[in-house]
Amino acid sequence: MRLQSWPIPDSGPEAELVRTARRHFNERGHFTAQEVGTGYGVADLVAFRVVPSRARARLANGQDAPLTRVEHFKLLLALPELGDGGMDVEEAADIVNLSPGHTRRALLNDLSGKGYVTKVQPGRYAKINGFMPLAWEVAAVEAKVRNWKKGAIQAKRYRLFAHRVYLAIRDDFLNRVDRELLRRHRIGLLSVSDNRVRRVFGSPRKDPRSAAHLNLACEAIWARGEPCVELEQGVSDGSS
Amino acid sequence: MVHPDSPLPGPIFVPKYIHIDTDHAEHFEEIRAAMVPAYVVAWDDSRVDNLARESADLLMIDPQTNALTYQGFLEKTTYRQIPYSPDDEPIRAREMVRDDSRTNEFAAEVLDYQREHGAGALIAPYFYARDLDDARYWANLRMLASAQDQVEDDEVLYATVNVSGSILNSPRILDELANDYEDLDPFGILLMFENVDDRDVSLEALVGLARLTQRLSEGRDLFIYPVAAFGQVLTALGANGFVSGVGWLEVFRESSLKPDRPTFAPSTTHRARFYYVPELFSYVHPEQVEEIFTESETMQDYRCDCEVCGGEIPEPEASQEKKRHFLIRRHGEMAVLGEAEDPPEHMRDRLSLALQLAGAIEDEALIRIQTEHLLRWVEVIDYCTQGRGEEEDADLDEEDLEEIIRQERRRGGDAPSGS
């Protein structure tokens, strides 16, 4: 599965909801990206708590090209560090459930070219410079004007890669929402009116189901060419 | 229904093995029939077709002559290795319509190839036709007639009706097609309609397919090839069974015959990673499986205990295990259908259960399983069994089923498509 980049809708009531929600998260120090897909639904909005030091480290290591396949991260999570003997291609292929040839050509060679991996012996690869996700927390938002149930179903999917998931719904349809159902499934609720977002209740933080998908989602920061003014200025968000 | 001398009385699911399916062909012994495409036989004579022969009572070889009227096959080495494929140019259907000697020669080559590789039932050459005015449709009838003249008394010959799915919406055209094939009266027929995805196609098209199945299966073998779970409904309505790939390759598309045919987009989840849940008639996205079977209390009772799953939830990446699971469960579905006293009612009951389970999954796990097509399948069964006696009992109250259908419709038609 690849990081998906879908056209961002620029008109319509739902697009307006998303814009308002995006401003809300931006104002609170998040990096944001719209229409982020990792192979299981496409989130209207994803908000990242970026770790500037990690981003600067990747830039310093020349690792600024986005990785766009979840298989990249499955390998990076499994490959040993340089000095630990490396992993052979067959074992790597088993991890990503692809043929050894494809694993070597399309994944390992790509990771090598982008500065994440090196060949330690013929057919054996290891990680270099380590890898850490760019964000310490990811929140995903599904925005709906009125169809709260559909929005909730979609929001729940984003637990695959997000620590917190939200349904954002227009304020005048808020009363239709089954809040107990959302709470039961740990989906937060945002009420959106003209230029304003109110957090009705939050989404408890929980580790995403897939570390590889979390890392893939974070690449949306690189892939969209988001300006990194805060990174350049060395702004810290207070996290490690 | 079915030919009185059928070598494959139903209900039967016939897996279509391609080159990546050798493990599955080895694993399943003593299945009644298997299908292997001609390109696989040409590519590696000793592998899949040998395995299919050893593990299946009867081997069928799809001659894939429908590919030979397109430029696409010229790009594929395996197709070029099939002895009856042309060297330089696609076949022109008008040759087959105008030149009897060419037709006879071609039919002979196609049948001989199947015989040489151990096919237990022969398939006449066929082309894909967009409608009944397409020259390829008339060529099909000529090639079928020629093939019928060339089979021995103890050989079984199937015709393949390979036409656009759009004609399923026209009762008049279907009637003409049925008349044409009834006139030739082949031992059996494979129905191969283009672009018929049983989850998406209209009710009218499904009814057209079902009615055609009922009609053409009178005293004749009939298989639908390929089709997904709706094949079970068609089997209940009179077909011997149906053919498809191992958990995929369930829709025929003309685009697959053309040059630069589309492949799976790398951004999408490969179908092989989906998990077949027979109680839902659905392939479940790998990321949904664990949630469904852990968060839905209702679905706890439906964890699969086949020899592959053993009551456990499969890993998202376990594609080969999921394929084996699919084969076990699919064969099991057909075996149970074979024991049903009233096959259409049996399928109706199963569809009702699927609708109930989908509702429970949404309520309990907040996962929406697409079900609109299941409602259409229920309507197809009702339509095709109209006029049945009042004395026939249903396992479910009519009122109960109607209420379930009303509830499902109230859930709305805005369910996400696909996975």
Q: Do A156 and B367 touch (CB under 8 A)?
A: yes
Residue of B nearest to A5 (CA): B267
pTM of the model: 0.86
Residue of A nearest to B369 (CA): A153
Residue of A nearest to B319 (CA): A97
> What pLDDT is stored for residue B272 in this prediction?
74
Tell me which of A97, A103, A179, A185 to substitute to probe the interface with B (most B C-beta atoms closer than 10 Å): A97
> What pLDDT is stored for residue B54 in this prediction?
78
Q: Do A157 and B287 touch (CB under 8 A)?
A: yes
Q: Is A136 helix (H, G, I), strand (E, B) or coil?
A: strand
Residue of higher predicted confidence among B80 and A88: A88
Helix axes B100-116, B135-150, angle to 10 degrees: 60
Residue of A nearest to B272 (CA): A97
- Backbone φ, ψ for residue A34 (5° rounding): -105, 155
Residue A185 contacts B where some CB pair is shorter than 8 Å: yes
pLDDT tens for each residue of B82-138: 999 998 889 999 888 889 999 999 999 999 999 999 899 999 999 999 999 999 999
> What pLDDT is stored for residue B268 in this prediction?
53
Q: For residue B392, what pLDDT band results from cuts at 50, 70 and 90? A: very low
Nearest CA to CA, how far is A107 from chain B (Å)? Answer: 13
> What pLDDT is stored for residue A1 in this prediction?
61
Nearest CA to CA, how far is B371 from chain A (Å)? Answer: 15
Q: Do B366 and A156 touch (CB under 8 A)?
A: yes
Residue of higher predicted confidence among B211 and B320: B211
A2 contact residues in B (CB cutoff 8 A): 266-267
Burial B119-156 (b: 16+ CB within 10 A, else e): bbbbbbbbbbbeebebbbbbbbbbbbbbbbebbeeeeb
Chain A window 2-41: which residues touch B at a Cβ cutoff of 8 Å?
2, 4, 37, 39-40
Q: Do A154 and B285 touch (CB under 8 A)?
A: no
E-strand ranges in chain A read 4-5, 31-37, 42-50, 87-88, 117-121, 124-127, 135-144, 164-170, 187-193, 196-201
- Sequence-distant (6+) residues with CB within 8 A of B179 are none
pLDDT tens for each residue of B340-390: 999 999 999 999 999 999 999 999 999 999 999 999 999 999 999 985 434
Residue A191 contacts B where some CB pair is shorter than 8 Å: no
- Would you state the structure tokens that stand for residue B28, as one six-digit string? 């399943």
Nearest CA to CA, how far is B402 from chain A (Å)? Answer: 24
Neighbours of B303 (CB within 10 A): 15
Residue A200 contacts B where some CB pair is shorter than 8 Å: no
Q: Do B317 and A154 touch (CB under 8 A)?
A: no
The closest CB to that of B367, out of A1, A4, A153, belongs to A153
Neighbours of A57 (CB within 10 A): 16
Residue of A nearest to B414 (CA): A150
Amino acid at A109: N
Average pLDDT, chain B: 87
The closest CB to that of A185, out of B269, B366, B419, belongs to B366
Residue A105 contacts B where some CB pair is shorter than 8 Å: no
Q: Do A150 and B267 touch (CB under 8 A)?
A: no
Residue A157 contacts B where some CB pair is shorter than 8 Å: yes
Residue ranges in chain A modelled with pLDDT below 50: 226-240
Residue B80 has pLDDT above 90, yes or no: no
Distance in angstroms (rounded) separating the CA atoms of residues B175 and B154: 30
> What pLDDT is stored for residue B314 in this prediction?
80
- CA nearest to A158, candidates A54, A74, A36: A36
E-strand ranges in B195-300 read 221-224, 241-245, 275-277, 282-284
Q: For residue B395, what pLDDT band results from cuts at 50, 70 and 90? A: very low
pLDDT tens for each residue of B143-176: 999 999 999 999 999 999 999 999 999 999 999 9
Question: Rounded mean pLDDT of B74-79?
Answer: 82
Q: What angle do CA A189, A194, A200 make, to 5 degrees?
A: 20
- Sequence-distant (6+) residues with CB within 8 A of B417 are B200, B370
> What pLDDT is stored for residue B140 in this prediction?
96
- For tokens 């408890």, the residue is A204
Residue B393 has pLDDT above 60, yes or no: no
Question: Rounded mean pLDDT of B263-287?
Answer: 78
Question: Rounded mean pLDDT of B73-82?
Answer: 83
- Sequence-distant (6+) residues with CB within 8 A of B12 are B32, B33, B235, B240, B241, B334
Residue of A nearest to B419 (CA): A40
Residue of higher predicted confidence among B56 and B179: B179
Neighbours of A231 (CB within 10 A): 20
B416 contact residues in A (CB cutoff 8 A): 150, 153-154
Distance in angstroms (rounded) separating the CA atoms of residues B217 and A140: 53
Residue B265 has pLDDT above 50, yes or no: no
ipTM of the complex: 0.84
> What pLDDT is stored for residue A234 in this prediction?
39
B414 contact residues in A (CB cutoff 8 A): 147, 150
* Helical H segments across A63-191, by residue range: 70-78, 89-96, 100-102, 109-113, 148-157, 179-184
